[in-house]
Amino acid sequence: MTGLVVVVRPGPLTTVQDLGRRGVAHLGVPRGGALDEPALRVANRLVGNPEGAAGLETTLGGVALRAVGRVVVAVTGAPAAVRVGGRAAAWGAAVTVPDGAVIEVGPAAYGVRSYLAVAGGLAVPPVLGSRSADLLSGLGPAPLTAGQLLPVGPPAAPPPADGLAVLPAPPAELVLRLLPGPRDDWFAPSAFTLLARARYEVAAASNRIALRTEGPPLPRLRTDELPSEGMVLGAVQVPPDGRPVVFLADHPTTGGYPVIGVVPAADLPAAAQARPGTPLRFVP
């Protein structure tokens, strides 16, 4: 550890995230990690970190931190106002925060989750190979609280001289490809037509575990019980109300509702940035 940042304002939900826990699903532990992986990777590159270093993931409301010692930070993901010591600073670029100054990330202008990387990475203790907070299992550090001290590791490399973030904008319409199976045969043939043509929206109940939807229920052929089986990132599970649920990073590793298909991992960063009410279209 070479420095500290102190949490001044934690925001409504700010967590420490890296790229998650790999290879531990057999223990009942999901991968977890940043929901918008490309945004965290870019933020880390901007401050000279390895792409998998731990940073902060905010949710809608931003965060404020006080530097203990000089630190270099970068903010990516959902666009938001950035201020250092009360003065406007750059979003999507490396920013120096002097000793004692406060870095503030404002509410997301659009999108949901912003990412703040600190040169050296956040050096909280790893659990099962990751520093990520897993909200389902409770592994890793708890969501941030005011006054909390976050240790910062030694910088790995100087920030690139001309580094700027290049990332897609949060979606005005969320389009998710869907690979059918493994339980698509539990649904009427019209279910895929309905998925492709119906108007769905991102539901307010969405979180790090799953993106929930509002829209027409999918018709089923079978209504009997399904024994619990393994779940993967991007699985589209259909509970009894018939409305699809897309599993995100903190998803359970088993489930007992049929999975009509799986969304490719490449489509999930956009899902992480889709606000409640965002139109949603599945492409089987």
Residue 122 one-letter amino acid: L
Task: For CA atoms 174, 179, 181, 186, give the dihedral sign.
Answer: positive
Residue 205 one-letter amino acid: A
pLDDT tens digits for the chain (284 residues)? 578 999 999 999 999 999 999 899 888 899 999 999 999 999 999 999 999 999 999 999 999 999 999 999 999 999 999 999 999 999 999 999 999 999 999 999 999 999 999 999 999 999 999 999 999 889 999 999 999 999 999 998 888 777 677 788 889 999 999 999 899 999 999 999 999 899 999 999 999 999 999 999 999 999 888 999 999 999 999 999 999 999 999 999 999 999 999 999 999 999 999 999 999 999 99
Give Cα 260 distance to the centre of its chain.
23
Q: Which CATH class is domain 174-283?
A: mainly beta
Alpha-carbon distance of 178 to 252, in angstroms, equals 20
Least Cα distance to 268 among 180, 201, 177, 167 occurs for 177
Which tokens hold the place of 73?
A: 């930070």
- Give residues with Cβ within 8 angstroms of 71, minimum separation 6: 3, 5, 96, 97, 118, 119, 120, 152
Domain boundaries, the chain: 3-152, 174-283
